[in-house]
Amino acid sequence: MQASIRIFAGLLVSTVAALALYQVFQPPEAPAQARQFTSSQECAQCHAEPFREWQDSWHSRSWTDPDVRALSNDFANTDCIDCHAPRPVFETGLANRVLPRAARRAEGVDCIACHQLPDGGMAGTFDRPDAPCRPQARRELAQVEFCAPCHDQHKTVTQWRASSYAAQGIGCIDCHMPYRNGDPNQGRDHTMHGGHDIELVRKAVALRAQRSSGAVVVEIENVGAGHHFPTDERSRAADVFWRPKGETAWRWLYRFRSPYRHEVELTDTLLPAHATHTLRIEDENARGALEVALFYKLTPYWKTPAAPDPEAEAKLVHRVELSP
Amino acid sequence: MLLVLFACSGEQRNAAPAYRLEPVVAPARARHPLTLPLAAPGTGAAANTARSELLEQVLGALGERDERLKTLARKDAEQLPPAEIAALREVLQDAAESDSRRGAAAEALGASPLPEAELALLEFMPDLRTPAWLRAVVTFQWGRRAKNLYLGKAILRLKYEPDDEAVIWLADALSRHGSRAGLDGLEVLMQRARTEELRALAAERWQAIRSATGPETGSEMGARTGAVDAPPASERVAEAWWWIGKLADWDLRQVDDARFVLQRLPDWVVPLLCECLHDSNVYTRVHAAQTLARMGARARPAGSALIEALAERQLAPTAAEALGMLGDAGVRPALERCLNAGRDPDLAVAAAMALGRLGDASALPALRAIAAPPDLVFATQLARVRLGDGRAVAPALLQALEGNGHDPEAAATALGEWMSQGARKEQWQALLHDSARGIESAEQAAVRRIAQARLVREELGP
């Protein structure tokens, strides 16, 4: 056994196996009633499906995400650690902010951060004191307040509260954690799609264009997001472009975005839930056949701001054509 | 001492006296009331306060080129009562006023000894919608004032001021009032200000501050603020408590700002932050400890308070981290005891990292003895690199670099420290991502890590 400890320490074989060994060597005074989880990898063994989905989610990448690392100077800016490698939400309580974690930072926003209760059990939908992870029914897990510790600094939850979804009781998880295969008995999908999933972004907005008294009237309506569009107030942007049919270069028309604090010359143009924004194109080149398109960008800046190339640097959300 | 011994034994030892938690900030703020309210920038109604003839004369004269007239006008400005200060504030903030009148208002406010005048300048400085030259003028005028009370408000400008010239005058102004917080900024501007003229100005001011306040070098100097500033005026202490009050704000921007300011206030703020380690609000406690951590060696007097704080579960990891930043080898035993924190892996990991940062190689035996859990072992390996054990842990870090679930970038950074002492340091350097090329994509990072791993293998040899 001694020899194997040394091998483990030196080589770091699979985390799960090493942890199993750790269990054996846990100090005897540790209380027997609760199994203590020291890594979300340990959940995989019994909860393969949520684990796989979570690994595919941006929550699991919140520490390794290159954009975050670049913006936080590799987390040398320690202000950024809190939500990107958090201690459990239930430790500080719902609607309070999370505290930063020192251990397992590479796991990001993980199972333990979302599920672990202060007594070591796991928040879930039922009580099962005999199960290894001791699930306990906690209704709060399904409420918007549960997402707020991290998502309301960017005001997403506040925006939701002001929308009709709040009145209807359609919460964050109803849109972002649908039941697997639509079946409530199969539990909820942990992939938590957001801006990285262009299909979801397409569902958020509708784009319409028509001619009216000599001008082209363009309407963009937030039909599917339970909050402002685009959601992330800090760095996402959605731009409306148009071009006469046959031309290759897009002409910029309008941008939906919440600016950074130093961008004092810009105003907040996010589109609230259910709201419609109307634009007019009054240009003689718009008399013939033309295209109008909405593009989505994960980061705000264009390589050449004077002549942005949305097809290369952004993703197409919707496109409509208009005849002369 | 008993406290220290039990600090890391976790929940099991009931014998440990409970860590004292009580309201600290609220009573302290009641004890140290501000005589003037500290408003947010840009607030306060433009009530079109009546402007006296004297005030108009002062503004007129200060707008002239005649130095003699100006000197007289400054003398007059010293006599202006608070009501007229409010009027000057309006002129300064009113975009419809001419540039020369706004500049003159700034100068008059600089001449007035009233704290209201100081606040009017400070409130205006952050208004980024106004032209940069006017912000530079306002900053310069603030610095010229004989007596300034609200250091924190000025320090915060270092965080947000985008204009090079305004930053130079800010650093200069701060140094006149006992804070060296701007020196770091000057060092950057000496190299990178937008014009040759400004680079020269930054260098000149840097020299001047250095010769006035002592020959410390580089960032060490920037990290230290106002050794000259003791004891603080009561209004300054009240302002410090006002910032401390923001440590528990929900809005993280307020918290970030407060940490930024507090860590740059003169040394007298350290005992205030130590008191906060006992506040009943967990955010106040943790953010106060983070502030002490960022003060580094300046926070050494907080050593025993931080060791005591290792007994408080939620505060302990941050306290350990802060202890590592003090650079005081005396805290090593307390940190070593936390390596066996049992039920709180977060504390153990924080303590391991702190021991690495502390830089005292006598911690090596304790670090080498840790065999589980894996995440703690990984943290001890990162720490051991810093203490000279690089070759021994490089094989394990190599695996993390190649992706075994531990933080690959932390492994890369640690391996970089080891490689930079070896024969392949130039090759390693060439592999690092150059931020000038923009954000590294996930694919680029993966390719870089493979190349780094290959180099580490070569360094390790067969």
DSSP string for residues in A101-164:
-SS-GGG-S-HHHHHB-TTS-EEESS--TTSTT-EEE-GGGGSHHHHHHHHTTTTHHHHHHTSH
pLDDT at B12 over 50: no
> Of A165, A186, A207, at which residue does a domain stop?
A186
Across the interface, of A19, A30, A63, the residue whose CB is closest to B343 is A30
Q: Is residue A175 within 8 Å of residue A168, measured between CB atoms?
A: no
How many domains does chain A contain in total?
A: 2
Residue to mutate among A1, A6, A7, A12, with most B CBs inside 10 A, is A12
**Cα B177 from Cα B213, distance rounded (Å):** 12
Shortest Cα distance from A282 to chain B (angstroms)?
Answer: 31
Shortest Cα distance from A130 to chain B (angstroms)?
Answer: 21
Q: What is the pLDDT of residue B432?
A: 86
> Is there a domain that residue A33 lies in?
no
Q: What is the pLDDT of residue B214?
A: 62
> Is there a domain that residue A212 lies in?
yes
Q: What is the pLDDT of residue B75?
A: 92
> Is there a domain that residue A12 lies in?
no
Q: What is the pLDDT of residue A6?
A: 32
> Is there a domain that residue A73 lies in?
yes
3-class DSSP state of B22: strand
Q: What is the pLDDT of residue B50?
A: 65
pLDDT at B340 over 90: no
Across the interface, of A29, A79, A106, the residue whose CB is closest to B407 is A106
**In this complex, do B406 and A30 lie within 8 Å of one another by their Cβ atoms?**
no
**Cα B288 from Cα B371, distance rounded (Å):** 33
For residue A20, what is the nearest residue in chain B, using CA coordinates?
A: B373
Chain A residues whose beta carbon lies within 8 Å of the beta carbon of residue B406 = 12, 106
Across the interface, of B256, B375, B409, the residue whose CB is closest to A103 is B375
Angle between helix axes B374-386 and B390-401 (nearest 10 degrees) is 130
Same domain? A170 vs A227: no
Same domain? A45 vs A170: yes
For residue A18, what is the nearest residue in chain B, using CA coordinates?
A: B374
Q: Say which residue, B265 or A4, is predicted with more confidence.
A: B265
CB under 8 Å to B240, separation ≥6 — which residues? B152, B232, B262, B265, B269, B272
A168 touches chain B (CB under 8 A): no
> Is there a domain that residue A15 lies in?
no
Q: How confident is the model at residue B19 (pLDDT cuts 50, 70, 90)?
A: very high
**In this complex, do B399 and A15 lie within 8 Å of one another by their Cβ atoms?**
no
Residue to mutate among B247, B310, B409, with most A CBs inside 10 A, is B409
**In this complex, do B439 and A70 lie within 8 Å of one another by their Cβ atoms?**
yes
Q: In the predicted model, what is the mean pLDDT of residues A72-89? A: 93
Q: In the predicted model, what is the mean pLDDT of residues B174-200? A: 90
For residue B161, what is the nearest residue in chain A, using CA coordinates?
A: A262
A95 touches chain B (CB under 8 A): no
Q: Is residue B77 within 8 Å of residue B112, measured between CB atoms?
A: yes
A38 touches chain B (CB under 8 A): yes
Q: How confident is the model at residue A212 (pLDDT cuts 50, 70, 90)?
A: very high
Across the interface, of A11, A21, A87, the residue whose CB is closest to B372 is A21
**Cα B326 from Cα B357, distance rounded (Å):** 9
**Cα B168 from Cα B139, distance rounded (Å):** 9
User: Of B129, B259, B241, B161, nearest to B142 (Cα)?
Assistant: B161
**In this complex, do B252 and A102 lie within 8 Å of one another by their Cβ atoms?**
no
Q: Is residue A54 within 8 Å of residue A60, measured between CB atoms?
A: yes
**In this complex, do A103 and B256 lie within 8 Å of one another by their Cβ atoms?**
no
Taking only the tens place, the pLDDT of each residue in B392-412 is: 999 999 999 998 889 999 999
Take residue A234 and report the two structure tokens written for it: 């800090």
Domain ranges, residue A50: 40-186
A11 touches chain B (CB under 8 A): yes
Same domain? A163 vs A53: yes
Q: In the predicted model, what is the mean pLDDT of residues B237-254? A: 95
Domains of chain B: 25-223 (1.25.10), 389-462 (no CATH)
A309 touches chain B (CB under 8 A): no
Q: How confident is the model at residue A54 (pLDDT cuts 50, 70, 90)?
A: very high
For every residue of B86-126, which 3-state class applies, written as one string?
Answer: HHHHHHHHCCCCCHHHHHHHHHHHHHCCCHHHHHHHHHHCC
Residue A45: DSSP 8-state:
T
Same domain? A83 vs A167: yes
Summary count for chain A: helices (H), strands (E): 14, 9
Same domain? A213 vs A136: no
**In this complex, do B347 and A21 lie within 8 Å of one another by their Cβ atoms?**
no
Across the interface, of B373, B441, B444, the residue whose CB is closest to A22 is B373
Chain B residues whose beta carbon lies within 8 Å of the beta carbon of residue A12 = 374, 377-378, 396, 399-400, 404, 406
**In this complex, do A153 and B372 lie within 8 Å of one another by their Cβ atoms?**
no
Alpha helices in chain A (DSSP H): 2-11, 15-25, 41-44, 48-55, 66-71, 81-84, 89-92, 111-115, 144-151, 156-161, 164-168, 172-176, 198-204, 310-313
pLDDT at B67 over 60: yes
Q: How confident is the model at residue A154 (pLDDT cuts 50, 70, 90)?
A: confident
A66 touches chain B (CB under 8 A): yes
Summary count for chain B: helices (H), strands (E): 27, 0
CA B330 to chain centroid: 25
Q: How confident is the model at residue B66 (pLDDT cuts 50, 70, 90)?
A: confident
pLDDT at B184 over 50: yes
pLDDT at A288 over 90: yes
Same domain? A150 vs A47: yes
Shortest Cα distance from B74 to chain A (angstroms)?
Answer: 33
**Cα B169 from Cα B143, distance rounded (Å):** 8
Across the interface, of B252, B346, B374, the residue whose CB is closest to A15 is B374
User: Of A258, A206, A204, A68, nearest to B445 (Cα)?
Assistant: A68
Q: What is the pLDDT of residue A214?
A: 86
> Of A164, A186, A208, at which residue does a domain stop?
A186
> Is there a domain that residue A81 lies in?
yes
Q: In the predicted model, what is the mean pLDDT of residues B410-416? A: 95
Take residue B35 and report the two structure tokens written for it: 């005589």
Across the interface, of B162, B349, B396, the residue whose CB is closest to A10 is B396
Q: How do beta strands A135-137 and A122-124 pair?
A: parallel
Q: How confident is the model at residue A262 (pLDDT cuts 50, 70, 90)?
A: confident
User: Of B17, B1, B19, B2, nearest to B289 (Cα)?
Assistant: B19
Q: How confident is the model at residue B242 (pLDDT cuts 50, 70, 90)?
A: very high
Same domain? A217 vs A161: no
pLDDT at B419 over 90: yes
Q: Say which residue, A179 or B35, is predicted with more confidence.
A: A179
> Is there a domain that residue A19 lies in?
no
A34 touches chain B (CB under 8 A): no
Q: In the predicted model, what is the mean pLDDT of residues B363-382? A: 95
Least confident interval from A88-92, A154-158, A315-319: A154-158
Q: What is the pLDDT of residue A70?
A: 86
Q: Report cis status (omega within 30 of 0) of the bond before A244.
A: no
A262 touches chain B (CB under 8 A): yes
CA A131 to chain centroid: 30
Chain A residues whose beta carbon lies within 8 Å of the beta carbon of residue B251 = 153
Shortest Cα distance from A264 to chain B (angstroms)?
Answer: 6
Q: In the predicted model, what is the mean pLDDT of residues B183-194? A: 92
> Of A186, A218, A238, at which residue does a domain stop?
A186
pLDDT at A31 over 80: no
Q: What is the pLDDT of residue B215?
A: 52
Q: How confident is the model at residue B43 (pLDDT cuts 50, 70, 90)?
A: very low
pLDDT at B227 over 60: no
User: Of A174, A240, A250, nearest to A209 (Cα)?
Assistant: A240
Residue A60: DSSP 8-state:
T
The chain-wide mean pLDDT, for chain B, equals: 88
For residue B10, what is the nearest residue in chain A, using CA coordinates?
A: A30
**In this complex, do B371 and A5 lie within 8 Å of one another by their Cβ atoms?**
yes
Q: φ and ψ at B311, to 5 degrees? A: -85, -10
Across the interface, of B349, B371, B404, the residue whose CB is closest to A102 is B349
pLDDT at A15 over 50: no
A78 touches chain B (CB under 8 A): yes
A23 touches chain B (CB under 8 A): no
Same domain? A167 vs A283: no
Q: What is the pLDDT of residue A8?
A: 31
Same domain? A165 vs A208: no
pLDDT at B418 over 50: yes
Least confident interval from A24-38, A90-104, A188-202: A24-38
pLDDT at B230 over 80: no
pLDDT at A178 over 80: yes
Same domain? A142 vs A202: no
Q: How confident is the model at residue B64 (pLDDT cuts 50, 70, 90)?
A: confident
Same domain? A146 vs A267: no
Q: φ and ψ at A48, to 5 degrees? A: -60, -40
Least confident interval from A306-315, B125-134, B147-156, B414-423: B125-134
For residue B437, what is the nearest residue in chain A, using CA coordinates?
A: A70
> Is there a domain that residue A160 lies in?
yes
**In this complex, do A38 and B373 lie within 8 Å of one another by their Cβ atoms?**
yes
Least confident interval from A35-39, A52-56, A193-197, A217-221: A35-39
Same domain? A249 vs A279: yes
Q: How confident is the model at residue B47 (pLDDT cuts 50, 70, 90)?
A: low
Question: How much is the pTM?
Answer: 0.90
A56 touches chain B (CB under 8 A): no
Q: How confident is the model at residue B304 (pLDDT cuts 50, 70, 90)?
A: very high
Instruction: Write the Ramachandran bin of A108: left for phi over 0, alpha for psi from -120 to 50, otherwise beta.
Output: left
**In this complex, do B314 and A69 lie within 8 Å of one another by their Cβ atoms?**
no
**Cα A177 from Cα A188, distance rounded (Å):** 5
